């Protein structure tokens, strides 16, 4: 959520920044709500001061043995008025906060302006150990045989889309044998790399979260229709907190990314400044009901309702968040470099960034059958946007609380990495070579070969 103080003090700056994201902020609505809030708040504070003054006056009259009945009568009329004002103020704040929950983050000044992905800016590309980084628009050399897409190659090696359709429906996958093991090997390889070399703590998280968690990380209310909602049969047992007080029942959702659960670990917390940065990673399935685009994205594993991802989250001091962003991009790049998969790094423009991001880099991997680059990781600095919604703070050196900065990134999307691996490592005979970095996770297997 945007900083209310910034909105009140620097509204033109906020409006201009949102305009860069192609968002028209309703200035008149904000000014109207803010004027109402200030008016009712002043009335409330005035009445509270009057109540306190009358209470003091009553005490003084009684201490002197004087008649306080008239003042008491005046005082007794205040609680009802105060309650009415406080309810009105709460309603205005609720309306204002509910609206602001739908407004995206402000872009960092370094983010290029643009309308959509066509305006994104390529930063660098990496074509393999031999070529390394290149500054031109070179692409990986074509294979000496006709390349086939991951669906055609994978279906001969245990990637069964028809089985998934029979079990569930479109945009799901079923894997068997060596293909299933390769998928698992990728996730384990990524986790081991991030925990042993990049300093992340591995976590196991719930796959189901409540609505307040999603409000905190920004998926609700804007993206409710992109989520899978969870229903439970039978009677739920009443839930209570540690003090035995009843907990209000909330809607439940399947997570669309473990960014949600990892980031929300600091919800309603004051983190000691000395413990920063927090680096967390997890491998989870992710569930998204988004319809997506037609054409090539409906074929195979590029855009599915269920997919696996190894997520990276950093929770940091505000002064270090942009250094952390560059670091996290490097962590995701390392996965692709060790797998010898060509990729490029792209900085997203203002019109293509996610809702909560202030600055985002995408990593796009080379997909030979499509002769193009496809997103495989997105790494974002959300600054204090999520932390403000989550009430996630730290105590600085002066002992005062400040909002944390949160960052998240795929390290990587497992299914899309499998797609890239199948297509880039396919052989003329229909087999797949296993990258050297993955062979220890495959029991030494160097190649997946179609059954005779």
Angle at CA 194, nearest 5°, toward 189 and 197? 105
Query: Which CATH number applies to 117-448: 1.10.8.60, 3.40.47.10, 1.10.760.10, 3.30.930.10?
Result: 3.30.930.10
What is this structure's pTM? Answer: 0.92
Q: Given this model, what pLDDT does residue 231 score?
A: 85
Closest CA to 306 of 286, 292, 323: 286
pLDDT at 241 over 90: no
- Is the distance from CB of 111 to CB of 347 less than 8 angstroms? yes
Find out whether 15 is annotated in a ligand binding site: no
Query: Which CATH number applies to 26-101: 1.10.540.10, 1.10.287.40, 2.40.30.170, 3.40.50.1220?
Result: 1.10.287.40
Averaged pLDDT for residues 154-171: 96
Find out whether 321 is annotated in a ligand binding site: no
- Is the distance from CB of 215 to CB of 223 less than 8 angstroms? no
Confidence bin at 130 (pLDDT 50/70/90) = confident
Find out whether 289 is annotated in a ligand binding site: yes
Averaged pLDDT for residues 218-245: 81
Residue boundaries of the structural domains of the chain: 26-101, 117-448
Percent of the chain exceeding pLDDT 70 equals: 96
Q: How far apart are the first and last CA of the chain?
A: 57
Find out whether 431 is annotated in a ligand binding site: no
Find out whether 257 is annotated in a ligand binding site: yes
Find out whether 211 is annotated in a ligand binding site: no
Averaged pLDDT for residues 211-222: 95
Find out whether 375 is annotated in a ligand binding site: yes
- pLDDT, tens digit, 9 for 90 and up, residues 172-206: 999 999 999 999 999 999 999 999 999 999 999 99
Q: Given this model, what pLDDT does residue 247 score?
A: 72
Find out whether 146 is annotated in a ligand binding site: no
Report residue 189 CA to chain centroid gap: 23
Give the C-alpha distances (Å, rounded to integers) separating 238 from 74, 235, 241, 346: 44, 9, 10, 49
Averaged pLDDT for residues 220-228: 93
Find out whether 75 is annotated in a ligand binding site: no
Confidence bin at 390 (pLDDT 50/70/90) = very high
Report residue 227 CA to chain centroid gap: 13
């Amino acid at each position: 959520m945007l900083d209310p103080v910034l909105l009140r003090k620097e509204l033109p700056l906020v409006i201009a920044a949102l305009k860069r994201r192609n968002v028209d902020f309703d200035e008149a609505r904000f000014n109207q709500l803010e004027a109402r809030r200030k008016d009712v708040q002043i009335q409330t504070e005035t009445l509270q001061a009057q109540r306190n003054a009358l209470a003091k006056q009553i005490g003084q009259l009684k201490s002197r043995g004087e008649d306080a009945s008239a003042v008491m009568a005046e005082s007794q009329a205040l609680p009802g008025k105060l309650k009415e004002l406080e309810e009105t103020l709460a309603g205005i704040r609720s309306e204002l906060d509910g609206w602001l929950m739908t407004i995206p983050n402000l872009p960092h000044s370094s983010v290029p302006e643009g309308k959509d992905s066509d305006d994104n800016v390529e930063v660098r590309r990496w074509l393999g150990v031999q070529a390394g980084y290149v500054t031109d628009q070179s692409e990986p050399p074509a294979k000496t045989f006709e390349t086939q897409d991951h669906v055609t190659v994978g279906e001969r090696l245990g990637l069964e889309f028809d089985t998934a359709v029979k079990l569930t429906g479109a945009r799901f996958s079923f894997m068997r044998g060596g293909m299933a093991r390769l998928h698992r090997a990728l996730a384990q390889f990524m986790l081991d790399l991030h925990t042993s070399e990049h300093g992340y703590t591995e976590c196991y998280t719930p796959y189901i979260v409540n609505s307040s968690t999603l409000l905190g990380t920004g998926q609700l209310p804007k993206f409710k229709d992109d989520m899978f909602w969870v229903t439970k049969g039978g009677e739920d047992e009443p839930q209570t907190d540690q003090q035995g007080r009843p907990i209000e029942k909330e809607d439940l959702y399947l997570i669309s990314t473990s960014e949600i659960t990892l980031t929300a670990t600091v919800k309603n917390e004051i983190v000691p400044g000395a413990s920063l940065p927090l680096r967390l990673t997890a491998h989870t399935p992710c569930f998204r009901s988004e319809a997506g685009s037609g054409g090539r994205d409906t074929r195979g594993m590029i855009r599915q309702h269920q997919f696996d991802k190894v997520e990276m989250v950093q929770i940091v001091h505000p002064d270090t968040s942009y250094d952390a962003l560059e670091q996290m991009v490097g962590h995701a790049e390392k996965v692709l470099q060790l797998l010898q998969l060509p990729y490029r790094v792209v900085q997203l423009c203002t019109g293509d960034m996610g809702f909560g991001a202030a600055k985002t880099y995408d990593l796009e991997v080379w997909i030979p059958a499509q002769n193009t680059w496809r997103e495989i990781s997105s790494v974002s600095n959300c600054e204090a946007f999520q932390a403000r919604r989550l009430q996630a703070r730290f105590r600085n050196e002066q002992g005062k609380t400040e909002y944390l900065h949160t960052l998240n990134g795929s390290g990587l999307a497992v299914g899309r990495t499998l797609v890239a691996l199948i297509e880039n490592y396919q052989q003329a005979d229909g087999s797949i070579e296993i990258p050297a970095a993955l062979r220890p996770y495959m029991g030494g297997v160097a190649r997946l070969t179609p059954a005779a």
